[in-house]
Amino acid sequence: MFKIGVLVSGGGTNLQAIIDSINTGVIKNAKIETVVSNKEEAFALVRAKNNNIDTKVIKIKDFENKELYENALIDYLKSKELDLIVLAGFMVILSENFVNNFKNKIINIHPSLIPAFSGAGYYGLKVHQGVLARGCKITGATVHFVTEEADGGPIIIQKEVFVKDDDTDESLQKRVMEEAEWKILPQAINLILNKEIEIVNNVVRRIC
Ligand code: GRF
């Protein structure tokens, strides 16, 4: 059984997409071993509990500094012997040390076509605000491996979403989730689980 840990901070619709994909057999032979949040009010935790998935809250403010917080997170995640860690709306930038503890085992979903509107400062609605302010006609979402560079790791899958003239930040955010994020996150997990991809020179390639 392929063991997945999901790190969340918010609503958890991407977590829900993974849960649904496992329940409907789109993702086979996999289990969400734990859902970890840095915020106890995250609705994602309710979604996990509704599906009998173990949850854990580890808050930065309970530690003297970020390094100690990360060490606690690392220890907890290692104790779960995970095959994959999914950042699904996890609003904490992780250090090089954290990433090196789980080399090529962490993926993230970002609501734009990276490298556009990605990196420091581009999170949540700010991404979609940037897209609309620039007048982009196409946006989308990206699933990528996590490295020490924010949104800079090897890209696994991208999916485009067309921008409408009357889109607002919120309407675009919603469509990017519905049309792209909830589809490509389970697809990316399947590519990894089924060993269909490899990383060559920082680029993801299909294994033929
Ligand atoms: C998503 O837009 C995701 O791309 C970004 O954070 C948001 C999380 O939403 N990283 P949810 O908590 O999965 O609903």
**Which residue, chain included where needed, has tokens 């649904």?**
20
Q: What is the pLDDT of residue 160?
A: 98
Asked about 110 being catalytic, the answer comes back as yes
pTM as predicted: 0.97
The H-assigned helical ranges of the chain are 13-23, 43-50, 66-79, 96-101, 125-134, 169-176, 182-193
| Distance (Å) from CA 35 to ligand 1 centroid | 14
| Distance (Å) from CA 88 to ligand 1 centroid | 6
Q: What is the pLDDT of residue 62?
A: 98
Q: Among 71, 115, 82, 107, which residue's Cα sits nearest to residue 2?
A: 82
**CA-derived radius of gyration, the chain:** 16
Q: Counting atoms of ligand 1 from 1, which one is nearest the CA of 111?
A: 4
| Distance (Å) from CA 208 to ligand 1 centroid | 31
Please say if the pLDDT value at position 162 is more than 90.
Answer: yes
Please report, as a single letter, which amino acid is at residue 15: L
Any residues with CB less than 8 A from the CB of 86 and at least 6 apart, and which? 4, 5, 6, 7, 14, 18, 106, 107, 108, 109, 185, 189
7, 8, 13, 14: which to mutate for ligand 1, most atoms within 8 A of CB? Answer: 14
Please report, as a single letter, which amino acid is at residue 18: I
Measured by CA distance, the residue closest to atom 1 of ligand 1 is 89
The superfamily (CATH) of domain 1-102 is Formyl transferase, N-terminal domain (3.40.50.170)
Residue range(s) of every CATH 3.40.50.170 domain in the chain: 1-102, 110-143+155-208
Q: What is the pLDDT of residue 208?
A: 77
Ligand 1 proximity of 152 Cβ (cutoff 6 Å): no
**Which residue, chain included where needed, has tokens 């990433």?**
99
Average pLDDT, the chain: 97
The encoded tokens of residue 194 equal 């089924």
Q: Which class is domain 110-143+155-208?
A: alpha beta
Rounded Cα distance between 28 and 26, Å, is 6
Cα–Cα distances (Å) from 133 to 117, 137, 168, 169, in that order, read 11, 11, 10, 10
7, 8, 13, 139: which to mutate for ligand 1, most atoms within 8 A of CB? Answer: 13
Q: Given 19, 21, 38, 110, which residue is catalytic?
A: 110
Both ends of the chain: CA-CA distance in Å? 24
Give the number of other CB atoms < 10 A from CB of residue 134: 12
Q: What is the pLDDT of residue 111?
A: 98
Q: What percent of the chain has pLDDT over 70?
A: 100
87, 90, 109: which to mutate for ligand 1, most atoms within 8 A of CB? Answer: 109
Q: What percent of the chain has pLDDT over 90?
A: 100
